[in-house]
Amino acid sequence: MKKLIVPVVLAGFILGLMAVPGTAQDQKPAPQKQATTRIIIPKEVRDTLNAGLAAKQGRQDIPFSIFNSTFLPAQQAFYMVFFLKFKNADLGFAPAPPSPVADAAAASAKVRAVFDVFLDFHKVTNGVAGPTLREIYVPVTEEQEATGFDPAKEEWYSIGYSLLPGDYLVGIAASTHDLKKIGTQYFEFSLPDPTKLVNALDTTPVFFVKDLKNVGQVEQQPKLHRAIFRYSVLEIVPNIDCVFTAGDSLDVFFTILGAKQSADGKSSIEVVYDVMKGQEPAIKFQPAMYEAPLVSHPLPLKQTVQIKKGDQVTTEVRDLAPGAYTLHLKITDKLATPPVSCTKQVDFTVK
């Protein structure tokens, strides 16, 4: 079970250490193009991305989807994370060569897929995508245990990159090394400008965390990760489908934007968390106070129920019953004059 890091500590070391991955000029070109000019996205991939750009029409040589996204602060920018889904069979997994270990019999058999991912970022102005702003090359070698490997299984992956506030369109391509198969998808998104939040609050997307650990190093170049995403020195496993079981906690993770700070650099932010089942209250938590804008907070899914027997009324704490629920958040900046608030909500299911 994870131990969520205290928000004050998170705010200190993440906001201070968050590295911005290299721009297009820092990336190495795809191996098949090294002989001549320094090209990040090969012409075959560029032509395929450009062909579908205006209509945002993807190509399905290698089928995949961009099914979700999130973003978190990265110095003066935001670290934008894209969540992709691939079916194993479409990535060309094959038996991996055995590892050169002393006891070959003890080495487990693996399957391996080797392919390339390219990101093509465009600024959007008045609904129109401009020329390429950034182009990123991500070589991928994905290995899984051969035992239990299911070619028909759909796995989710993540990839992140830091960008300044603004409106964007990204084209993402996945290709074989020989460029004979190229799949593309497109995704529009906006990153807010916190400097424009005058007497107002907002947040980064609120999501739930399954696991979180400090891996000690900042990722210097974008990579494709399976079933996790990286953020600074953190490796995070989000609860992608927002499904929980009895006894779980809603471990919320988000950053509050626009909150004022005192002379000593601290905020005074109150967050009221409530769980609703439709229009009916299910759990009301005690208000939480934060001195830093980055929030990592567990909320136990325990419900206090009143039980009446004759004239006696007793209370009992139970696990939240299965069903569909919504977490409501009311966030208030106590240092603002007058105090300002914003509200957020996230749906989840208990099974």
Check pLDDT > 80 for residue 21.
no
* Residue 306, pLDDT score: 80
49 and 153 in a common domain: yes
Q: Do 155 and 147 contact (CB within 8 A), yes or no?
A: no
Tell me: do 133 and 26 sit in the same domain.
yes
Taking only the tens place, the pLDDT of each residue in 116-163 is 999 999 999 999 999 999 999 999 999 999 999 999 999 999 999 999
CATH of the domain at 82: 2.60.40.2550
Contact 331, 342 (CB under 8 A): yes
Tokens of 95: 């038996």
Q: Tell me how many domains the chain contains.
A: 2
CA-based diameter of the chain, in Å? 87
Q: How far apart are CA 237 and CA 128, in angstroms?
A: 34
From 252, 251, 286, select the one nearest 270 (Cα to Cα).
Answer: 286
Considering only CA atoms, which of 218, 241, 242 is closest in space to residue 230?
218
Q: Do 185 and 255 have their domain in common?
A: no
Q: Give the whole-number percent of the chain exceeding pLDDT 90.
A: 81
Is residue 230 included in any domain, yes or no? Answer: no
Question: Is residue 291's pLDDT more than 80?
Answer: yes
Q: Is residue 202 part of a domain?
A: no
Alpha helices in the chain (DSSP H): 7-17, 43-53
Hey, what amino acid is at 234? Answer: L
Of 30-39, 202-211, 341-350, least confident by mean pLDDT is 30-39
Q: Tokens for 59, please give them.
A: 């190509």
Same domain, 188 and 282: no
β-pair partners for 276: 281, 326
Please check whether residues 180 and 314 belong to one and the same domain.
no
Cβ pair 169, 124 in contact under 8 A: yes
Task: Write down the pLDDT at residue 296.
Answer: 95
Whether 35 and 136 share a structural domain: yes
Decide if 290 is inside a domain: yes
Query: Residues 184, 44: one domain?
Result: yes
How far, CA to CA in Å, does 2 sit from each of 111, 214, 223, 251? 29, 11, 24, 10
| 246 in the same domain as 136 | no
- Range of the structural domain that residue 104 is part of: 7-196
Give the tens place of pLDDT for each residue, 251-284: 999 999 999 999 999 999 999 999 999 999 999 9
298, amino acid identity: P
pLDDT at position 16: 45
In a domain, 80, yes or no: yes
Kindly give, in sequence order, each residue whose CB lies less than 8 Å from that of residue 196, ignoring residues fewer than 6 positions away. Answer: none
User: Percent of the chain scored above 70 by pLDDT?
Assistant: 87
pTM: 0.88
Classify residue 301 by its DSSP letter: -
Please check whether residues 156 and 277 belong to one and the same domain: no
Query: Domain for residue 86, yes or no?
Result: yes
Give the model's confidence band at 18: pLDDT under 50 very low, under 70 low, under 90 confident, else very high: very low
